[in-house]
């Protein structure tokens, strides 16, 4: 079923043939089993209208995927129960003519159990395309129809068992494939289950308990200790510690107070709070995560698109090969009709590129599911494949390699200014700025219980500093370059400034009325895992670069401590993109890692953009990969996962290709003249199903890489 297909009335999808279902309301808020509400007859009709495009990517919803799996499972067991006596009666002696009994037993297998292949073939031909269902339908139909003809002619030689066994084996293969992929679907459902079914809202001054699906934007929701948060929102009253680990991966509860955001699915661990709902249903962070993973799983990697094109041609080769095989054996070599038909049908069946069609989708499904489990969100299959190609990676310093929470370490004043006075002036101006360094100053002002002054004529000088009028004084705050540009003499404080820079600290010079007044030094602590992450990436052969707006000396000290040789410093926000392009111009497949609005152009420019932590919406929208935690090691985990997934894709494609190249000639009878070996259609079906299962199992074995992700 395809999401883009809509209809005002019931019917089937014109692309894949699956039954159209009523548009789901808000499945992020509840978990319903719609099959229980249907009558037996309704479920039977739906079963008969379900079909498979056989590309294994058409399951739009989790519920529909589950229904499809159950339907195939049921059809398999019915087919198996009927196939056992069909095979038994074929190879034992009976006191009566067995052919009509075999016909009676095979007919429900063909029309009911095999209907999904027949109907899918009809839809494919109607759409003027060929898929794997066509081959299966040709195989079971040829065996069934020729068996009826031979029965009517009075012959005891039939293919009833071949038609039945082919249907049974193929159904089993597809059931196993869908079962192997269900783990990731169940994981997504587990995410949805984080959302509580009810919410405690305040309406008209009264507390009401309503279904989470009934919550509206603007509702005030009361959360008590131990409650799960139903939707996204902003705290309006109270403070607490919120456990967001199941959503973001951060293990330590996050302190929340007035104005802070809360995420649906997280758990309130301590105090009572009230918050206003800002995002509901499919707009919540949790729903977006699930949507991103689903999109990734249903997208096609570049390698799969090639395989799909090859598979279509293989369908033509298989059908054409079957006809040629029959003509050669029957008309050219003059062999019996039964032998010629055996080779022809076997050729069509065994050539079914089912394993080829499964080669990459199964690996992608497992890979993206593993990523989501470890809070690594990969937006689509091409990205999953391309992350493995990264040769160079540019890391934004603030928020990526460092905590992004700078603290004031030193305040030095001259020219009769006082420390608190400088703080008040600097804080008053920086309060108008959104720069991370301004937060450090404001925190210090709050700590010292100082007051902010009225500010006029505020001006932000991009990448260099800010200025404004405070108490009729012109206050300028910024870099050494800014002071030099404004002809302000910094020699009186130069010695102290150089000492602070040599210690790896970031400095903000303050000038009042064009005279240097002091310097404030801040330091952003490097994350504990940054050095290890850089070392591991370099061990993988990646060139690691750091980019920052910090002065050259501070940047070089941090880079040296982390083992990063290539450091881009004093970079203006709008220049970050140019440095990424510089790496690309050197012929390197480049990734950019950042978390802020100013990183968005660079993330878009990079071959792979990676947003780290609870970054801005702009950064997340621009990035190809979103790391929910603020852990640099997750960059490494994403690369390891991508390389492992691509390796499984290649293994599956190689196996599927070799299987088809070797199996078709054998099925066509090339070994018969020399060795007397024939491959009956039912055994061809078995081999084809085994090949598909091998591919699915190999993809599932990708889960072993999880050991490497726990670094």
The structure tokens listed for 252 are 């330590």
- Cα 393 to Cα 181: distance, rounded to the nearest angstrom: 32
As to burial, measured by CB atoms within 10 angstroms (0-12 exposed, 13-18 middle, 19+ buried), residue 260 is middle
**H or E element in which residue 219 lies:** none
Residues facing 220 on adjacent strands: 202, 276
| Residue 396 is a catalytic residue | yes
- CB burial of 561-587 (b: ≥16 within 10 Å; e: otherwise) equals ebebeebbbbbebebbbebbeebeeee
Which member of 219, 396, 550, 599 is catalytic? 396
3-state DSSP helix/strand/coil % of the chain, to nearest 5: 55, 15, 30
Check if the beta carbon of residue 542 is closer than 8 Å to that of residue 392.
Answer: yes
CA-based nearest residue to 594, from 44, 584, 579, 425 = 579
The structure tokens listed for 667 are 């099925």
Task: Give the sheet arrangement for strand 515-523, strand by strand.
Answer: 407-413, 515-523, 506-512, 473-478, 465-470, 455-461
- Cα 698 to Cα 649: distance, rounded to the nearest angstrom: 9
- Cα 383 to Cα 386: distance, rounded to the nearest angstrom: 5
- Cα 314 to Cα 292: distance, rounded to the nearest angstrom: 33
Residues facing 460 on adjacent strands: 466
Query: 704: Cβ–Cβ under 8 A, 6 or more apart, which residues?
Result: none
CA dihedral 86, 88, 91, 92 (to 10 degrees): -120
Which single residue is written with the structure tokens 């507390």? 207
Task: Give the sheet arrangement for strand 206-211, strand by strand.
Answer: 206-211, 198-203, 220-223, 273-279, 232-238, 261-262
Find the DSSP H helices in 193-301.
Answer: 245-248, 285-298
Which single residue is written with the structure tokens 């394993």? 355
Extract the runs of DSSP E, i.e. beta strands, from 422-472.
Answer: 455-461, 465-470
- Alpha carbons within 13 angstroms on the beta-carbon side of residue 69 total 17
- How do beta strands 608-612 and 590-594 pair? parallel
CA dihedral 228, 231, 236, 239 (to 10 degrees): 30
- Cα 524 to Cα 192: distance, rounded to the nearest angstrom: 37
Active site residues: 396
């Amino acid at each position: 079923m395809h999401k883009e297909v809509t209809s005002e009335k019931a019917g089937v999808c014109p692309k894949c043939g699956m039954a159209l279902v009523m548009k789901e309301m808000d499945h992020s808020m509840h978990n319903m089993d719609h099959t229980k509400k249907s009558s037996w007859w309704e479920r039977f009709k739906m079963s008969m209208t379900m079909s498979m495009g056989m590309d294994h990517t058409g399951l739009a919803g989790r519920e529909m995927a589950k229904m499809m799996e159950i339907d195939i499972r049921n059809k398999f067991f019915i087919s198996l129960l009927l196939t056992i006596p069909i095979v038994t009666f074929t190879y034992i002696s009976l006191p009566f003519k067995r052919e009509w009994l075999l016909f009676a037993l095979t007919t429900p297998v063909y029309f009911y159990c095999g209907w999904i292949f027949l109907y899918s073939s009809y839809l494919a031909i109607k759409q003027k395309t060929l898929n794997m269902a066509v081959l299966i339908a040709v195989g079971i139909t040829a065996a069934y129809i020729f068996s009826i003809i031979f029965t009517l002619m009075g012959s005891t030689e039939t293919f009833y068992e071949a038609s039945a066994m082919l249907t049974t084996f193929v159904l089993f293969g597809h059931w196993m494939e869908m079962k192997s992929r269900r783990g990731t679907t169940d994981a997504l459902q587990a995410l949805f289950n984080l959302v509580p079914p009810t919410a405690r809202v305040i309406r008209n001054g009264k507390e009401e308990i309503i279904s989470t699906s009934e919550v509206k934007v603007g509702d005030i929701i009361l959360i008590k200790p131990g409650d799960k948060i139903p939707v996204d929102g902003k705290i309006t009253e109270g403070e607490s510690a919120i456990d967001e680990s199941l959503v973001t991966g951060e293990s330590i509860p996050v302190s929340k107070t007035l104005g802070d955001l809360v995420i649906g699915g997280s758990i309130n661990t301590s105090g009572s709070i009230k918050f206003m709902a800002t995002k509901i249903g499919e707009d919540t962070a949790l729903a977006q995560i699930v949507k991103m993973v689903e999109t990734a799983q249903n997208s096609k990697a570049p390698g799969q698109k090639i395989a799909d094109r090859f598979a279509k041609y293989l369908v033509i080769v298989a059908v054409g090969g079957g006809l040629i095989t029959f003509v050669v054996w029957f008309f050219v070599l003059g062999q019996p009709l039964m032998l010629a038909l055996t080779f022809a049908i076997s050729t069509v069946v065994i050539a079914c590129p089912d394993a080829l069609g499964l080669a990459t989708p199964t690996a992608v499904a497992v890979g993206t599911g593993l990523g989501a489990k470890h809070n690594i969100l990969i937006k689509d299959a091409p990205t999953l494949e391309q992350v493995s190609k990264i040769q160079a990676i540019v890391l934004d310093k603030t928020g990526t390699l460092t905590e992004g929470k700078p603290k004031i370490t030193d305040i030095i004043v001259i020219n009769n200014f006082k420390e608190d006075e400088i703080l008040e002036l600097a804080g008053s101006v920086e309060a108008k700025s959104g720069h991370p360094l301004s937060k450090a100053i404001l925190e210090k002002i709050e700590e010292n219980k100082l007051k902010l002054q009225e500010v006029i004529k505020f001006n932000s000088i991009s990448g260099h500093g800010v200025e404004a009028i405070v108490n009729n004084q012109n206050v300028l705050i910024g870099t050494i370059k800014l002071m030099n540009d404004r002809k302000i003499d910094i020699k009186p404080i130069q010695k102290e400034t150089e000492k602070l820079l040599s210690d790896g600290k970031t400095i903000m010079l303050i000038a009042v009325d064009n005279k240097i007044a002091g310097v404030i030094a801040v330091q952003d602590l490097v994350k504990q895992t940054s050095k290890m992450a850089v070392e591991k990436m370099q061990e993988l052969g990646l060139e690691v670069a750091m980019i920052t707006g910090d002065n050259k000396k501070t940047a070089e000290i941090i880079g040296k401590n982390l083992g990063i040789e290539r450091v881009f410093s004093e970079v203006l926000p709008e220049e970050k993109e140019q440095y990424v392009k510089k790496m690309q111009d050197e012929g390197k497949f480049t990734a950019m890692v950042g978390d802020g609005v100013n990183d968005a152009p660079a993330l878009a420019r990079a071959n792979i953009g990676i947003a780290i932590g609870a970054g801005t919406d702009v950064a997340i929208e621009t990035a190809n990969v979103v790391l929910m935690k603020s852990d640099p090691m997750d960059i490494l985990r994403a690369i390891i996962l991508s390389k492992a997934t691509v390796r499984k894709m290649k293994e599956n494609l190689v196996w599927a290709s070799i299987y088809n190249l070797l199996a078709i000639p054998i099925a066509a009878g090339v070994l018969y003249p020399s060795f007397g070996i024939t491959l009956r259609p039912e055994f061809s079906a078995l081999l084809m199903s085994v090949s598909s299962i091998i591919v699915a199992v190999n993809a599932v074995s990708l889960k072993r890489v999880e050991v490497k992700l726990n670094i």
